Structure 1
Amino acid sequence: MSSNVTAASDSGIFGKLFKRKKKEINLAEATAWQLIGIKLRRHKLAWYSIWFLAVLYFVAIFAEFFAPFDPSDTWRRYTYAPPQEVNLFEQTDDGWQWAPHMVGYDVKTNIMTLKRDYTPDEEKKVYFEFFGKTEPYTLAGFIPMQYKLLVPENSKQPFFMLGSDRMGRDMLSRIIHGARISLSVGLIGVFCTFFIGILVGGISGYFGGKVDNVIQRLMEIIKSIPTLPLWMALGASLPNDWSSLQRYFLITIILGLVAWPDMARVVRSRFMSLRNEEYVAAAWLDGNTPFEIIRRYMVPNFLSHIIAVVTLAIPAMILGETSLSFLGLGLQPPMVSWGVLLQEAQNIRALAEAVWLLIPAACVVIAILAMNFVGDGLRDACDPYHDQGAK
């Protein structure tokens, strides 16, 4: 097998246009991160999932630009409105022309059931424009903006690409804004798990003995408690008079405090295998403190493996927030998350009339699957004995 790997090829249309030269990496001289990058690119499912999650987080960060409306905007006349058909062209006497629009509704209220019936009406068209001008707003909390990706030409005539909820709020806008909360909860919760897991697991694995026994018994007690009931108990203990922002940060801390034993066990096992290495003994003889040895020499040695474990832990955090919010013990309106949106699906009658209320559940499933694929790819790429790199 050749020891060189081509990182960029001049074949294909892009290679012919830009005439890029081949850049080869010598595997014998490549760093650990370069080897991980090579193996990760060969894991196609993980590589595509990384790009998908990058786009997802980009949309979540700049939700105000991508969401057509504010998540709290209501149109009482369009409660439980079904998704509208989207057309980019319109047929005229001169042929087809560019005219982005959605098919409007013919709304009638049933006198007996007081239920609104929506019938698509081709004559009623709701026109919209891309990168249109709207009311001034703040993008990501600090960037003044006045343009959005989708803007209706008539502000009094809204459109619902993914339908509306019981209060006539646009589901697409609420899902985009909810992604910011749900996806950030996983990152902040994993950061707490990362910090506590490395600290406690490092102390347990480095010192061993009685310290290790005490920490291991503590982790076993925490692991013996069922996760969901523990989340529910901790979530229910939060005061009802707290603001949505306070509950948001406390929920992330709760998720991180419950999940740290898994990370601590991984770190402990790695530390126990590394503490007898020669470079650790040399660092100790050089006068380094135990904390410096852990921080400067031991943690960087298996940091890539920790990153893979952390990536696999993020989906559990997202599921935890979704479960708590769905049960009414997590985040509460007016804060919007995918779990809060799924509270609408608790009503069977509403779900039977508006199946599009389950779209947030599909978003949770897709995001978690993508994160699991990335975690699997990182785990295989960080394993020096995995045969994927030899293919």
Structure 2
Amino acid sequence: MADRPLRVCLVSPVPPPYGGIGHWTQMVLRHSEKHGDLEMSVINTAPRWRAVHDLAKWKRVTGGGLQLLRDVARFISLMIRRKPDVVHLTTSGQLAVVRDIWILRIARLFKVPAVYHIRFGRVPEIAGEGTWEWRMMRRAMAMAHTVIPLDSATEDAIRKYAPKVRVLRIPNCIDPSELPAPREPTGEGTAMYLGWVIPTKGVGELVEAWTRLKPKGWRLMVAGPGDAAYKEELLKTHRPERLEFTGELGHEEAMKLLAGADLFVLPSYTEGFPNVILEAMVLGRPIVATTVGAIPEMISDGCGILISPKNVEELTDALSRALSDGALRAGLGVCARARALEEFSIEAVFARYKALWKSCSAKSN
């Protein structure tokens, strides 16, 4: 292997549809092109059989089962044709853990070490409750060389409930060169949400809080894909003023809108280490977000306003503070940008991935 590049297989989604993990995959692939000693391949696990906001269980089981067979077949084919030196598997949990177990078993059969990258923030809850999902995850983690959590709470839960697992916490990353320059606020104020327009992202609470406030001189932009019936239900239930649903946007267009927003809001029920928070930080946008996943570690200490998930009162109060205080917004944005550039740049984080891949491969050989 000394006379050829290190072969790394990413088992991870690639857009479309657009999502945080998919964007991470694209970013890692682009940055790897700067490293001549790496040869990357991808098994694309993006769901093609349903809309991401369609959570009907029967569709997830039947469609997911068919996709599992497809992904596993492609993975086996890659193992036979061009066996990698290390596998890097990302997971969003739930039923995807079944696929993860198959991928990790096959990697072990071919004697290829695997990195298991946990990309969601519910691990402390499911581990504490001992759910079926956690029991399946323990089986998956036991087959991995190293497990990567994104936040300290997930790391602590794994160490407590699966103490034999090798854990290495690595934060998410951002490539500032991909983003437009931050823009100064002009004219009407814009508060922005960017993500899937689904209940678990806290969109309902956001629309309710906005309706309560009715802030003068401000509009709320809700950007991202979602079910038309759900949007109609929100409008009919709350009758908000100055609210715009943009629908799904390309990443470049979404970043231009975010760069011009005066406030970014992410009231999710659960997150891992959300890319959109990193993007808002690099763009110097003040942030209101929930205390889930790695978000408290990202925007604490003056880099954002933290609220409890599913709490309309706290969200309303936080929005009121941020919308009424320009100096507060400016200070939050400056702090957030400085932290993102210092701690979460793609160069720093990718170097840690690369070191881990090399250590896995060296141990295997």
Q: TM-score range by the shorter chain?
A: under 0.3
Question: Which structure would you say has the larger RCO, counting Cα contacts within 8 Å and 6 or more residues apart?
Answer: 1
* TM-score, with structure 1 as normaliser: 0.23
* TM-score, with structure 2 as normaliser: 0.24
Q: Which of structures 1 and 2 has the bigger CA Rg?
A: 1
